[in-house]
Structure 1
């Protein structure tokens, strides 16, 4: 799998990004101020993520997605590790990520990659999305915020 940063003139891999965030408008908004990376295998785009600077020391993985047909193969972990490496290369000290309370697999993955729970934004998904989101039979209501300190990593 090859991972590369998209150039500003390249189209966003919207199909992939919509796998992680159902709002095209929100994706376009944060992508305009961030860095989008795409993962390709044999010429096919199979994953993507966006890094969004929050301030001079903190950057957020705002969206991370793997094509449904490619899940369960370790590509998500590789994307997270790549994002952490890019953040460290860009000299950010903290990487944040948020996911839904119903995103059980993602919560496990992020913690396995070294993220720690930072806080909970209660009713985030109720406030920001017009349609209810369900995952794993659970309504996605709250945003679980996690952080990773790059200066304590081995990247």
Structure 2
């Protein structure tokens, strides 16, 4: 399965719906989507995943969103998107990549650690401003797990 990763600038409904897999808050998504860089993973021209990044500080990139279509999950696509960003960050002389995920995102936390990220903090009650409570893995999502990779 050959995966091609390329930058996109336009967001259609299909891509927007894919982004909602990675961030269920439309308000948050709408806030960052137009000021960030977006890269899609394609298999046979079909978009199967996306990663969204932004420079938050000098020499620091943050991954704001990463999502893979459900039927393509657990096939290494998310890991390839992260590795793509790591390589791009190194080439751009960045020193830190940051990422955050909900306390309920057990698979995400494991993936990020396997890619080399370390937990650097927990932002308590981060999700309390979200319109609705949400659960993943039977766990109420309340706190943001902050992770970083030092390049």
Using the size of structure 1 for normalisation, the TM-score is 0.91
Instruction: Tell me how far apart the structure 1 counterparts of residues 62 and 11 of structure 2 sit (CA, whole Å).
Output: 21
SS at match of 1:77: helix
* Equivalent pairs, count: 147
1:14 to 7, 13, 16: 16
What is aligned with 1:59?
61
The CA RMSD measured in Å over matched residues stands at 1.1
Equivalence for 1:153: none
1:70 is displaced (CA, Å) by: 0.2
Alignment of 1:6-155 (within 5 A): 6-7=8-9, 10-11=10-11, 13-127=15-129, 129-150=130-151
- Aligned-partner Cα distance in 2 for 1:17–1:85: 22
Runs of 4+ in 1 over 3 A off after TM superposition: none
Gapped regions of structure 1 (runs ≥ 5): 151-155
Whole-angstrom CA distance in 2 between matches of 1:122 and 1:94 = 23
Q: Distance in 2 between matches of 1:31 and 1:84?
A: 20
Gaps of 5+ in 2: none
Question: Do 1:31 and 1:52's aligned partners in 2 also have CA atoms closer than 8 Å?
Answer: no
